[in-house]
């Protein structure tokens, strides 16, 4: 009788665990790109990010004659940070894109930058340097100093992330955040994007290959990715943690009482049989 009771108890616990895990989601809820086939080719369009107010641009000008190019480069800035042995860190001072979309460039004055790609701004500065007879062979390099994206919601490591190469896909961003949790909805991933003072919302289903054609397949600076929770997580959020602990303590106490009662009745039955 005792062995039967223990076996039944173990089977019940195992069945409960299986039921709990099974209720957390199925393959169709948690797998990415469920409709792709091996070797399938997908077309996508990579649009270069547009410069926006608030961006900080690193702009360097070079020429065959470094002395002529030097006045167009901002000075290096140094600060003492958390570097080894307290050594100073140097970085090139950046050009802040003002609210009116302009930057202030040495000798050239205000130049409108907002709404342009890096290549377009590069060409624009080069033309003005040549037209002003400052340089005849300018070599201009532009990079973002504050290209970042944010990933929030049902991911393992939510937060903001700096992107060095300025080219990051939606899947890359989720990977940087430690992937979605089992409670994240693959069919309801939202991207919030601000362009020219307007906020646009995009919703994607990462279970389908259709998102490859989305303008958000590659993210832009300051995009916010939001992974929404599934119904199970929403229901769990409504349970107070302390109450949840109390429920489990109550269950354990009840199970212990039942087990004690069964064992007591078993002993009494054995004695009666003797």
Q: What tokens were used for 265?
A: 């009745």
Q: What is the mean pLDDT of the chain?
A: 80
Mean pLDDT of 110-137: 96
pLDDT at 232: 82
Q: pTM of this prediction?
A: 0.69
Residue 182 vs residues 89, 179, 262: alpha-carbon distances, Å: 41, 9, 39
Lowest mean pLDDT among 82-91, 122-131, 255-264, 265-274: 82-91
pLDDT tens-digit map of 149-204: 999 999 999 999 999 888 899 999 999 999 999 999 999 999 999 877 789 999 99
| Cβ-contact 186, 205 below 8 angstroms | yes
Task: Tell me which residue of 62, 59, 114 sits closest to 92, measured CA to CA.
Answer: 59
Confidence of residue 54 (pLDDT cuts 50, 70, 90): very high
The C-alpha angle with vertex 57 and arms to 53 and 62, in degrees rounded to 5, equals 145
Q: What tokens were used for 239?
A: 């349970």
């Amino acid at each position: 009788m005792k062995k039967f009771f223990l076996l039944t108890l173990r089977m019940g616990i195992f069945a409960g665990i299986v039921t709990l895990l099974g209720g957390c989601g199925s393959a169709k809820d948690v797998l990415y790109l469920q409709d792709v086939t091996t070797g399938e080719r997908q077309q996508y369009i990579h649009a270069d990010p547009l410069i926006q107010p608030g961006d900080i641009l690193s702009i360097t000008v070079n020429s065959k004659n470094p002395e002529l190019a030097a006045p167009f480069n901002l000075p290096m800035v140094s600060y003492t940070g958390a570097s080894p042995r307290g050594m100073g860190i140097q970085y090139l001072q950046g050009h802040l894109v003002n609210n009116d979309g302009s930057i202030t460039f040495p000798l050239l004055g205000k130049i409108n930058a907002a709404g342009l790609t890096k290549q377009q701004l590069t060409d624009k500065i080069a033309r003005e340097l040549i037209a002003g007879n400052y340089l005849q062979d300018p070599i201009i390099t532009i990079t973002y100093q504050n290209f970042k994206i944010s990933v929030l919601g049902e991911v393992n490591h939510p937060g903001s992330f700096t992107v060095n190469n300025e080219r990051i896909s939606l899947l890359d961003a989720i990977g940087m955040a430690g992937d979605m949790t089992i409670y994240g909805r693959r069919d309801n991933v939202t991207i919030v994007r601000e362009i020219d003072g307007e906020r646009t919302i995009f919703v994607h289903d990462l279970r389908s290959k259709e998102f490859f054609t989305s303008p958000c397949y590659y993210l832009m600076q300051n995009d916010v990715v939001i992974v929404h929770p599934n119904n199970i997580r929403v229901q769990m959020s409504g349970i107070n943690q302390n109450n949840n602990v109390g429920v489990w303590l109550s269950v354990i106490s009840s199970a212990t009482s039942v087990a004690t009662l069964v064992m007591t009745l078993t002993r009494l039955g054995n004695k009666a049989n003797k």
